[in-house]
Amino acid sequence: MNPVINNDANEEIKIKKKEDLLNANVNIDLNAEIPDLDVKFRKIRLVLNKVTEDNFERLGLELVTGFQYNFKLLTELVKLIFDRAVVRNFAGLFSNTCAYFYAQIKQQNKEVSKAFKQTINRKCEAQLSQNSESLVPSSKFIGLLYKEKLVKCMVVFQFFEVSIKQTSSDCQLEAAFYLLKLLSPHLAYSNLERLEKVFTDLSSLSTERLSKKIQFLILDLIENKATLTSPTPLRQKSSENAPSHAKKTGKIVSFGSVSEFQQVQCGNSKRILKQNVSEETKTILREAVGEHVIGKKNLEVIKEIFKNNKNKERQLVNQTFKYALIHYDREQEFLKVCDLVVQVTEAIGKKEVIETGIMYTVEAIQDIKLDSPMASEHLTFIIDHLESTGVIADAKYLTKNLSITN
């Protein structure tokens, strides 16, 4: 899933692909039938199955130059992308892939790029019209697509109109609240008056019969309304201005500086730089942790994941606790996860990585709170438990910086 690609060779591929774009036939009939459509469906599926954070640009170009598109093929492409982003939980990866594909296909044929964007918007409308457990993960992907300027604001506002009602289900409300928290500053920039009406509808909801989680989400949004409705334009991305570590994903990762965040001693070494874990490994780890918490005896499987990702143990610890914070809310579940992490790291002789892993989780708490508003309180419980059991010698700097990020 993560082949190492020589940079020079990769650049040659990109140059060749871009030459292909310039030489491509721009006269495309999107209604025309394409022969062997099922074969092309399978080929697109195979390309998407290989997409990772390291190769999405190369494979995005392959999707652009390797196929002649009509409406049917674009619909299948978007369907397959949503399946991987929502069902398989790769929202960030595939929002980047969509943005890159759109930018490249636009150079080749504006009609195809326009049709691709229209297809995405129709798919978003269909996804948001569902009232099921998939609505929340769908909203997360759609929010990221909006930030990539691939989704119209009207799609989001129409969803707010039908979902922020007294009769709405928890999943409808949760999805709407997620989009509000993620997109409000950008929606305020394009249509502040309509956004104000959304917050008015939100404030008028009677919370008595709503779940505690939904009540908390409403309170959080109302308390932070002034900040959320401060107009902020969508950022124009520029790979030339981005730091080197942000060029592949379009995301800028913020690490606590030494002056602000005490260095973690790991054996004889100080703070270790983050080593990225592949999306495939994250998925396998999440599934294994979830099965362990419900009682499946798969400790050996999780040990093997850690062994196969040498020098990435800290990020695996971080991913484990992030998963727990998003999916659980009971102390008993958090204790099981803590015990799991201790057992695994002791078994491989790297118990010291727990502290650094927790530090990464503290740094990411704002993003985690988008999915789990009580994440700060739950992470404080986890840190206190690890300190009380001697896993972390002094957790004051962790909880101090956790409170600073809140």
pLDDT of 345 reads 94
**Would you call 367 exposed, middle or buried from its count of C-beta atoms within 10 A (0-12, 13-18, 19+)?**
exposed
CA distances from 9 to 13, 14, 19, 232 (A): 6, 9, 15, 39
Judged by DSSP in three states, 237 sits in coil
CA distances from 196 to 58, 103, 126, 206, 225 (A): 42, 32, 25, 18, 9
Domain that holds residue 263: 256-405
Cβ–Cβ under 8 Å, residues 86 and 116? no
**Would you call 15 exposed, middle or buried from its count of C-beta atoms within 10 A (0-12, 13-18, 19+)?**
exposed
* Together in a domain, 146 and 15: yes
- Assign residue 196 the CATH number of its domain: 1.25.40.180
388 assigned to some structural domain: yes
Amino acid (one-letter) located at 239: S
Dist CA 99 CA 187 (whole Å): 19
Which of 187, 212, 228 finishes a domain?
Answer: 228
Q: What is the dihedral of CA 150, 234, 274, 401, to 10 degrees?
A: -140
Dist CA 121 CA 133 (whole Å): 20
CA distances from 53 to 56, 76, 151, 323 (A): 6, 22, 22, 20
pLDDT of 59 reads 92
* Together in a domain, 205 and 291: no
* Together in a domain, 42 and 188: yes
Structural domain total, the chain: 2
240 assigned to some structural domain: no
Dist CA 75 CA 171 (whole Å): 26
* Together in a domain, 314 and 208: no
236 assigned to some structural domain: no
Amino acid (one-letter) located at 158: Q
pLDDT of 27 reads 64
> From the CB of residue 190, how many other CB atoms can be counted at a distance below 10 Å?
15
Dist CA 68 CA 24 (whole Å): 10
Dist CA 169 CA 115 (whole Å): 33
**Crossing angle of the two packed helices 375-388 and 396-405, in degrees rounded to 10:** 180
Instruction: Report how far apart the first and last C-alpha atoms of the chain are (Å, whole number).
Output: 36
Q: Can you point out the beta strands (E) in 219-378?
A: none
* Together in a domain, 114 and 217: yes
* Together in a domain, 214 and 361: no
* Together in a domain, 39 and 162: yes
* Together in a domain, 75 and 160: yes
Cβ–Cβ under 8 Å, residues 210 and 240? no
Torsional sign, CA 56, 62, 64, 69 = negative
Dist CA 323 CA 140 (whole Å): 16
Cα angle vertex 392, ends 276, 329, to 5°?
70
Dist CA 26 CA 49 (whole Å): 28
pLDDT of 129 reads 94
* Together in a domain, 279 and 196: no
Print burial letters for 158-176: b (CB count within 10 Å at least 16), e (below 16). ebbeebbeeebeebbbbbb
pLDDT of 40 reads 93
Cβ–Cβ under 8 Å, residues 78 and 116? yes
387 assigned to some structural domain: yes
246 assigned to some structural domain: no
274 assigned to some structural domain: yes
Which of 228, 246, 265 finishes a domain?
Answer: 228
pLDDT averaged per 10 residues, the chain (length 406): 43 46 58 91 94 90 92 96 90 93 92 95 95 91 95 95 94 94 92 94 91 90 91 63 38 35 39 63 88 87 91 92 90 93 93 90 85 88 92 84 63
* Together in a domain, 155 and 222: yes
* Together in a domain, 54 and 199: yes
233 assigned to some structural domain: no
Dist CA 269 CA 230 (whole Å): 43
244 assigned to some structural domain: no
* Together in a domain, 120 and 72: yes
